[in-house]
Amino acid sequence: MNDELVQLISRANIVSPSPVAIDLLRLLCDRRYSRARFVKLVRQDPATSTALLRAASMTSVSRSRSSIDIDEAVARLGAKRVRRIVVEQAFGALKIERLDGYGIEDHAFWRMSVSCAHASEEIARAAGLDEGIMYIVGMLLDIGKLALEACLGDRMVSIGGRPDQLEREATGFNHEEIGAQIATAWNLSEPIPTCIRYHHDPADARCLEAEVACAHLASWAVHWLGIPTGFDGMLYDLDTRVLDALGLSEGSVEEIALAVLEGIQSTEEPTPTPIS
Protein backbone atom coordinates (compact mmCIF):
# COMPACT_ATOMS: atom_id res chain seq x y z
CA MET A 1 0.00 0.00 0.00
CA ASN A 2 1.42 3.38 -1.00
CA ASP A 3 1.96 5.56 2.08
CA GLU A 4 1.38 8.79 0.16
CA LEU A 5 -1.95 7.49 -1.11
CA VAL A 6 -3.00 6.48 2.40
CA GLN A 7 -2.07 9.92 3.72
CA LEU A 8 -4.02 11.66 0.96
CA ILE A 9 -7.15 9.66 1.75
CA SER A 10 -6.69 10.31 5.46
CA ARG A 11 -6.46 14.07 4.87
CA ALA A 12 -9.65 13.98 2.84
CA ASN A 13 -11.51 12.65 5.91
CA ILE A 14 -14.33 11.07 3.91
CA VAL A 15 -17.03 9.67 6.18
CA SER A 16 -16.88 5.89 5.90
CA PRO A 17 -19.90 3.57 6.16
CA SER A 18 -20.58 2.21 9.63
CA PRO A 19 -19.48 -1.36 10.43
CA VAL A 20 -23.13 -2.43 10.37
CA ALA A 21 -23.61 -0.81 6.95
CA ILE A 22 -20.58 -2.70 5.62
CA ASP A 23 -22.00 -5.96 7.01
CA LEU A 24 -25.33 -5.20 5.33
CA LEU A 25 -23.60 -4.59 2.00
CA ARG A 26 -21.69 -7.85 2.29
CA LEU A 27 -24.90 -9.69 3.09
CA LEU A 28 -26.67 -8.19 0.08
CA CYS A 29 -23.81 -9.36 -2.13
CA ASP A 30 -24.35 -12.93 -0.93
CA ARG A 31 -27.00 -14.59 -3.10
CA ARG A 32 -27.69 -17.09 -0.34
CA TYR A 33 -28.78 -14.52 2.23
CA SER A 34 -32.20 -14.78 3.83
CA ARG A 35 -34.63 -12.08 4.87
CA ALA A 36 -34.38 -13.23 8.49
CA ARG A 37 -30.62 -12.65 8.55
CA PHE A 38 -30.99 -9.29 6.87
CA VAL A 39 -33.74 -8.09 9.22
CA LYS A 40 -31.74 -9.11 12.28
CA LEU A 41 -28.78 -7.07 11.08
CA VAL A 42 -30.67 -4.04 9.79
CA ARG A 43 -32.31 -3.58 13.19
CA GLN A 44 -28.85 -2.58 14.43
CA ASP A 45 -28.79 0.38 12.01
CA PRO A 46 -31.41 2.98 13.03
CA ALA A 47 -30.92 5.20 9.98
CA THR A 48 -31.39 2.37 7.48
CA SER A 49 -34.29 0.95 9.47
CA THR A 50 -36.02 4.32 9.39
CA ALA A 51 -35.42 4.71 5.65
CA LEU A 52 -36.86 1.26 4.94
CA LEU A 53 -39.93 1.87 7.11
CA ARG A 54 -40.51 5.26 5.50
CA ALA A 55 -40.27 3.82 1.99
CA ALA A 56 -42.53 0.89 2.85
CA SER A 57 -45.14 3.20 4.37
CA MET A 58 -45.47 4.90 0.98
CA THR A 59 -46.46 1.72 -0.85
CA SER A 60 -50.12 1.22 -1.73
CA VAL A 61 -50.23 -2.01 0.26
CA SER A 62 -48.95 -0.35 3.42
CA ARG A 63 -51.07 2.81 3.33
CA SER A 64 -54.04 0.94 4.74
CA ARG A 65 -51.98 -0.35 7.68
CA SER A 66 -51.50 1.66 10.86
CA SER A 67 -47.94 0.43 11.30
CA ILE A 68 -45.49 -2.13 9.97
CA ASP A 69 -42.27 -3.62 11.29
CA ILE A 70 -38.90 -4.05 9.58
CA ASP A 71 -39.60 -7.60 8.48
CA GLU A 72 -42.80 -6.61 6.70
CA ALA A 73 -41.18 -3.48 5.26
CA VAL A 74 -38.45 -5.57 3.64
CA ALA A 75 -41.00 -8.01 2.26
CA ARG A 76 -43.16 -5.21 0.84
CA LEU A 77 -40.34 -3.29 -0.79
CA GLY A 78 -38.64 -6.21 -2.49
CA ALA A 79 -34.99 -7.07 -2.97
CA LYS A 80 -34.15 -4.43 -5.58
CA ARG A 81 -35.64 -1.49 -3.70
CA VAL A 82 -34.17 -2.65 -0.39
CA ARG A 83 -30.73 -2.89 -1.95
CA ARG A 84 -30.93 0.64 -3.29
CA ILE A 85 -31.99 2.05 0.06
CA VAL A 86 -29.21 0.25 1.93
CA VAL A 87 -26.55 1.38 -0.54
CA GLU A 88 -27.73 4.98 -0.56
CA GLN A 89 -27.82 5.06 3.25
CA ALA A 90 -24.34 3.54 3.49
CA PHE A 91 -22.74 6.06 1.16
CA GLY A 92 -24.25 9.29 2.41
CA ALA A 93 -20.79 10.86 2.04
CA LEU A 94 -21.56 11.16 -1.67
CA LYS A 95 -24.27 13.72 -0.93
CA ILE A 96 -21.72 16.52 -1.12
CA GLU A 97 -23.21 19.76 -2.41
CA ARG A 98 -20.60 20.54 -5.03
CA LEU A 99 -17.16 19.64 -6.37
CA ASP A 100 -15.73 22.92 -7.64
CA GLY A 101 -12.57 21.30 -8.94
CA TYR A 102 -14.64 19.18 -11.31
CA GLY A 103 -17.37 21.67 -12.17
CA ILE A 104 -20.05 19.64 -10.39
CA GLU A 105 -22.70 21.75 -8.66
CA ASP A 106 -26.09 21.59 -6.95
CA HIS A 107 -25.81 18.05 -5.59
CA ALA A 108 -25.13 16.75 -9.11
CA PHE A 109 -22.46 14.35 -7.79
CA TRP A 110 -25.10 12.39 -5.89
CA ARG A 111 -27.39 12.21 -8.91
CA MET A 112 -24.47 11.16 -11.09
CA SER A 113 -23.50 8.41 -8.62
CA VAL A 114 -27.04 7.07 -8.32
CA SER A 115 -27.46 7.18 -12.10
CA CYS A 116 -24.23 5.25 -12.58
CA ALA A 117 -25.41 2.68 -10.04
CA HIS A 118 -28.66 2.24 -11.98
CA ALA A 119 -26.73 1.89 -15.23
CA SER A 120 -24.31 -0.63 -13.77
CA GLU A 121 -27.19 -2.66 -12.36
CA GLU A 122 -29.06 -2.66 -15.67
CA ILE A 123 -25.98 -3.66 -17.66
CA ALA A 124 -25.21 -6.41 -15.15
CA ARG A 125 -28.71 -7.79 -15.56
CA ALA A 126 -28.36 -7.89 -19.35
CA ALA A 127 -24.89 -9.46 -19.15
CA GLY A 128 -25.69 -12.03 -16.47
CA LEU A 129 -23.51 -10.47 -13.77
CA ASP A 130 -24.38 -9.95 -10.11
CA GLU A 131 -26.72 -6.95 -10.10
CA GLY A 132 -26.29 -6.20 -6.41
CA ILE A 133 -22.53 -6.04 -6.50
CA MET A 134 -22.49 -4.00 -9.68
CA TYR A 135 -24.98 -1.52 -8.22
CA ILE A 136 -22.50 -0.85 -5.42
CA VAL A 137 -19.69 -0.56 -7.97
CA GLY A 138 -21.61 2.02 -9.97
CA MET A 139 -22.35 4.05 -6.87
CA LEU A 140 -18.67 4.32 -5.99
CA LEU A 141 -16.97 4.71 -9.37
CA ASP A 142 -15.99 8.34 -8.82
CA ILE A 143 -15.59 8.38 -5.05
CA GLY A 144 -11.90 9.15 -5.53
CA LYS A 145 -12.94 12.61 -6.69
CA LEU A 146 -14.18 13.37 -3.18
CA ALA A 147 -10.69 12.87 -1.79
CA LEU A 148 -9.13 15.00 -4.52
CA GLU A 149 -11.71 17.73 -4.02
CA ALA A 150 -11.06 17.77 -0.28
CA CYS A 151 -7.31 18.09 -0.83
CA LEU A 152 -7.24 20.36 -3.88
CA GLY A 153 -10.62 22.07 -4.14
CA ASP A 154 -10.77 24.91 -6.64
CA ARG A 155 -6.99 24.78 -7.13
CA MET A 156 -7.77 22.50 -10.06
CA VAL A 157 -9.80 25.28 -11.63
CA SER A 158 -7.18 27.96 -11.00
CA ILE A 159 -4.37 25.81 -12.42
CA GLY A 160 -6.34 24.98 -15.55
CA GLY A 161 -5.93 22.06 -17.91
CA ARG A 162 -7.43 18.60 -18.14
CA PRO A 163 -8.73 17.34 -14.77
CA ASP A 164 -7.40 13.84 -15.38
CA GLN A 165 -3.87 15.18 -15.92
CA LEU A 166 -4.09 17.61 -13.01
CA GLU A 167 -5.06 14.80 -10.65
CA ARG A 168 -1.79 13.00 -11.21
CA GLU A 169 0.34 16.14 -11.46
CA ALA A 170 -0.99 17.47 -8.16
CA THR A 171 -1.06 14.27 -6.11
CA GLY A 172 0.69 11.52 -8.06
CA PHE A 173 -2.56 9.59 -8.40
CA ASN A 174 -5.77 9.69 -10.41
CA HIS A 175 -9.28 9.43 -9.01
CA GLU A 176 -9.58 5.78 -10.08
CA GLU A 177 -6.54 4.73 -8.02
CA ILE A 178 -7.68 6.75 -5.04
CA GLY A 179 -11.23 5.39 -5.26
CA ALA A 180 -10.02 1.80 -5.38
CA GLN A 181 -7.94 2.38 -2.26
CA ILE A 182 -10.91 3.92 -0.46
CA ALA A 183 -13.01 0.85 -1.28
CA THR A 184 -10.24 -1.39 0.03
CA ALA A 185 -9.90 0.68 3.21
CA TRP A 186 -13.64 0.25 3.75
CA ASN A 187 -13.22 -3.53 3.50
CA LEU A 188 -15.31 -3.77 0.35
CA SER A 189 -14.33 -6.99 -1.39
CA GLU A 190 -13.66 -7.69 -5.06
CA PRO A 191 -14.73 -6.94 -7.69
CA ILE A 192 -15.48 -3.49 -6.26
CA PRO A 193 -11.91 -2.08 -5.91
CA THR A 194 -10.75 -3.46 -9.26
CA CYS A 195 -13.80 -2.10 -11.09
CA ILE A 196 -13.22 1.35 -9.63
CA ARG A 197 -9.51 1.20 -10.45
CA TYR A 198 -9.97 0.38 -14.14
CA HIS A 199 -13.36 1.82 -15.04
CA HIS A 200 -11.78 4.30 -17.47
CA ASP A 201 -9.12 1.88 -18.75
CA PRO A 202 -10.74 -1.56 -18.93
CA ALA A 203 -8.04 -2.92 -21.24
CA ASP A 204 -5.50 -2.55 -18.40
CA ALA A 205 -7.39 -4.89 -16.09
CA ARG A 206 -5.93 -8.37 -15.88
CA CYS A 207 -8.88 -9.99 -14.13
CA LEU A 208 -12.62 -9.55 -13.64
CA GLU A 209 -12.86 -8.44 -17.26
CA ALA A 210 -16.66 -8.63 -17.48
CA GLU A 211 -17.21 -6.70 -14.25
CA VAL A 212 -14.71 -4.01 -15.23
CA ALA A 213 -16.34 -3.81 -18.67
CA CYS A 214 -19.70 -3.29 -16.98
CA ALA A 215 -18.30 -0.45 -14.86
CA HIS A 216 -16.71 1.18 -17.91
CA LEU A 217 -19.91 0.99 -19.93
CA ALA A 218 -21.99 2.33 -17.04
CA SER A 219 -19.71 5.33 -16.62
CA TRP A 220 -19.90 6.09 -20.33
CA ALA A 221 -23.68 5.58 -20.46
CA VAL A 222 -24.31 8.20 -17.79
CA HIS A 223 -22.48 10.80 -19.87
CA TRP A 224 -24.17 9.61 -23.07
CA LEU A 225 -27.55 10.14 -21.42
CA GLY A 226 -26.70 13.79 -20.78
CA ILE A 227 -26.49 13.53 -17.00
CA PRO A 228 -24.05 16.21 -15.74
CA THR A 229 -20.67 14.61 -14.97
CA GLY A 230 -18.42 17.66 -14.61
CA PHE A 231 -15.48 19.02 -16.59
CA ASP A 232 -13.97 15.63 -17.31
CA GLY A 233 -17.15 13.93 -18.51
CA MET A 234 -16.20 14.21 -22.18
CA LEU A 235 -12.59 13.07 -21.75
CA TYR A 236 -13.26 9.36 -21.56
CA ASP A 237 -14.27 7.52 -24.71
CA LEU A 238 -16.06 4.20 -24.87
CA ASP A 239 -13.77 1.23 -25.41
CA THR A 240 -16.04 -0.79 -27.70
CA ARG A 241 -14.20 -3.99 -26.82
CA VAL A 242 -16.20 -4.09 -23.60
CA LEU A 243 -19.27 -5.01 -25.63
CA ASP A 244 -17.66 -8.32 -26.56
CA ALA A 245 -16.65 -8.92 -22.95
CA LEU A 246 -20.26 -8.45 -21.92
CA GLY A 247 -21.83 -10.23 -24.88
CA LEU A 248 -23.78 -7.12 -25.86
CA SER A 249 -24.44 -5.37 -29.17
CA GLU A 250 -24.54 -1.63 -29.83
CA GLY A 251 -28.29 -1.89 -30.23
CA SER A 252 -28.71 -3.55 -26.86
CA VAL A 253 -26.58 -0.85 -25.23
CA GLU A 254 -28.94 1.84 -26.50
CA GLU A 255 -31.90 -0.12 -25.14
CA ILE A 256 -30.17 -0.45 -21.78
CA ALA A 257 -29.34 3.26 -21.67
CA LEU A 258 -32.92 4.23 -22.38
CA ALA A 259 -34.16 1.81 -19.73
CA VAL A 260 -31.77 3.41 -17.26
CA LEU A 261 -33.04 6.89 -18.12
CA GLU A 262 -36.65 5.80 -17.71
CA GLY A 263 -35.82 4.23 -14.38
CA ILE A 264 -34.12 7.37 -13.12
CA GLN A 265 -36.92 9.64 -14.26
CA SER A 266 -39.76 7.43 -13.11
CA THR A 267 -41.45 8.32 -9.84
CA GLU A 268 -43.09 4.94 -9.57
CA GLU A 269 -41.87 2.28 -7.19
CA PRO A 270 -40.22 -0.72 -8.88
CA THR A 271 -42.18 -3.95 -8.92
CA PRO A 272 -41.14 -5.86 -5.78
CA THR A 273 -39.16 -9.07 -6.01
CA PRO A 274 -39.95 -10.91 -2.75
CA ILE A 275 -37.10 -11.83 -0.44
CA SER A 276 -37.55 -15.34 0.90
Check residue 1 and give its pLDDT.
57
Check residue 204 and give its pLDDT.
94
* Single-letter amino acid code for the residue at 265: Q
Whether the model pTM is above 0.75: yes
Which regions in the chain score pLDDT beneath 50? 62, 267-276
Query: Per-residue pLDDT tens for 94-135?
Result: 887 788 878 888 788 998 999 999 999 999 999 999 999 999
Check residue 122 and give its pLDDT.
92
What percentage of the chain has pLDDT greater than the value 90?
A: 41
Check residue 121 and give its pLDDT.
92
Which domains are assigned to the chain?
Answer: 1-13+94-276 (1.10.3210.10), 18-90 (no CATH)
Check residue 157 and give its pLDDT.
61
Please return the burial class of 1, using the count of CB atoms within 10 Å of its CB with bins 0-12, 13-18 and 19+. Answer: exposed
